[in-house]
Amino acid sequence: ARPGRLIRKLGPAEIGVPTPPPGARPGWAAIAANSLPLEDAVGLFRIDSHNALSEAQKGQAQIDIGLNPFDIREPFVLVYAGQSNAASSNENAAGGDLTVDPDVYVWTGAAFVVFDPANGVGVPVAGRNSLAFQWAKTQRKAEGRPVYVIIDAWPGEAIINWVGDGIASKNYVSLRAKVSAALAHSAITLWNGGGKTQIDAFGWSQGESDNVNTLGYYITAFATLKTQLRGETWFSTNTPIVCTTLVTPSGFDRRNDFFRNLVNGDDPYVIAASGDGLTQPPDNLHWLGSDMNAFGPRLYAAFEALPHPAARNTVVNDGQIIRGGLDGQGWQIDYNTAANQSVIYPFSDATGLVASSNIRYLWATNEWALQGAKVTIQGDLTVTESIKIDNVNVFNTIRGLQIKNYFGSHFADIEHEVNTVGKAEGVSYWDSINDRLVVAKGPLPSDLWAFFTASGSYTPA
């Protein structure tokens, strides 16, 4: 809306009722562009072309429009817990690179706001650095996704305060409540129309206060913590858990015997980022703010070393208004209802969108969003030019073309699925018994299969 336009959010009873507002226009207000808060920018709005300065133009025209302020980039939700190094509660944490990233947010207990340690937002004292802050900035820069951080840390407290009374343990109760409240915030729930229900990673900087306990004690307590977390609806069995080693040498670093062995542990979803080589702090206990900068990339690298799902993206209709932009590239899915067929076109800032009178959807994407174990297409995939397989690319994960295999006798069985399901001229399979490529010469169950026998083989040595 431009300054001078009138806009009003419609109530449920008004949706679908094209009644122009009367001259007095109760409830309408002139607004400036981009003045709607995100929390209020959901629903059906009516925009009147009336210019507030011209009585002659009153009621001239109006437009109803649905505002859908989803950010197409899936938010990355990071929960960070532990004791003083997680809380930035010690003065050693002062300093370092406190430059904000406008796409890194922290939970305040009431809302997500831009994480700004220089001004005391996300840390207990202005000017102190944060391990979670540096990890989040590295994560955001690497993946391009907005990062939402939830910190719940307790300086000077042993792990028993998270697990001693199970999920009723005081620190765990606090963690649980904070995460649940944060995930219910509109910044998370609005994504993709249904929101996110689980976090993406869990950080843990704790152990100094368990210096007097044995390694066996801590192994058992940490296993209990994992069990509690994995029992939450917002956690899963494969949610990455990234710990940090303790400052060493010091009188409080005995639990490094646990954290240093996580790399070789039997849990594939838990790892520790090492603080080796960083500056020895004056108190031999709390990391310096300047060294927290270095911990950010280390925490991110540890996270990347663990199995974790690729980012998902929002598919939006091009009639919707979205925030966050299309990041300059993506896919246009053009759906023809008459033919019941979709055609996919790539687009970018340079190529733009393909003009279409069909139903058009936009799938905004980035290189990292295309990574994953596999892509499944339900239905036929028709390629009008060529399929290129190249193992020298940014993903470095494509290893070749795998063709589904059947036994030789299957091709000769007219009732077998290879002859009754999806058969068409040119459809190819691998005859795994006779080691040959088999190609259909027609779509009918009785149509012949041509086969091509290998003339030789390679023996790796």
Please write the tens of the pLDDT for every residue from 36-50: 433 344 444 444 444
Q: Could you tell me if residue 279 is left (phi over 0), alpha (psi between -120 and 50 degrees) or otherwise beta?
A: beta
pLDDT at 318: 47
The residues pairing with 442 across neighbouring beta strands, listed in sequence order, are none
**CB contact set of 446 (below 8 Å; sequence gap of 6+):** 414, 419
Q: What pLDDT is recorded for position 56? A: 43
Instruction: Return the H-helix or E-strand segment holding 30.
Output: strand 29-30
For the chain, which residues score pLDDT lower than 70?
Answer: 1-73, 192-195, 263-265, 310-331, 347-353, 360-401
Instruction: Report the pLDDT value the prediction gives residue 363, as an integer from 0 to 100.
Output: 58
Q: Return the closest-CA partner of residue 145 out of 181, 175, 188, 182.
A: 188
* pLDDT number for residue 404: 84
Q: What is the pLDDT of residue 16?
A: 39
Residue 329 CB neighbour total at 10 angstroms: 15
pLDDT number for residue 344: 75
Instruction: Say what the pLDDT of residue 15 is.
Output: 37
DSSP letter at 328?
T
User: Given this model, what pLDDT does residue 444 score?
Assistant: 95
Please give the pLDDT value at position 400.
Answer: 60
CB proximity list for 159: less than 8 A, separation 6 or greater = 206, 207, 209, 210, 218, 221, 222, 225
b/e 2-35 (16+ beta carbons within 10 angstroms → b): eeebbbbeeeeeeeeeeeebeeebeebebbeeee
CA gap 92, 80 in Å, rounded: 19
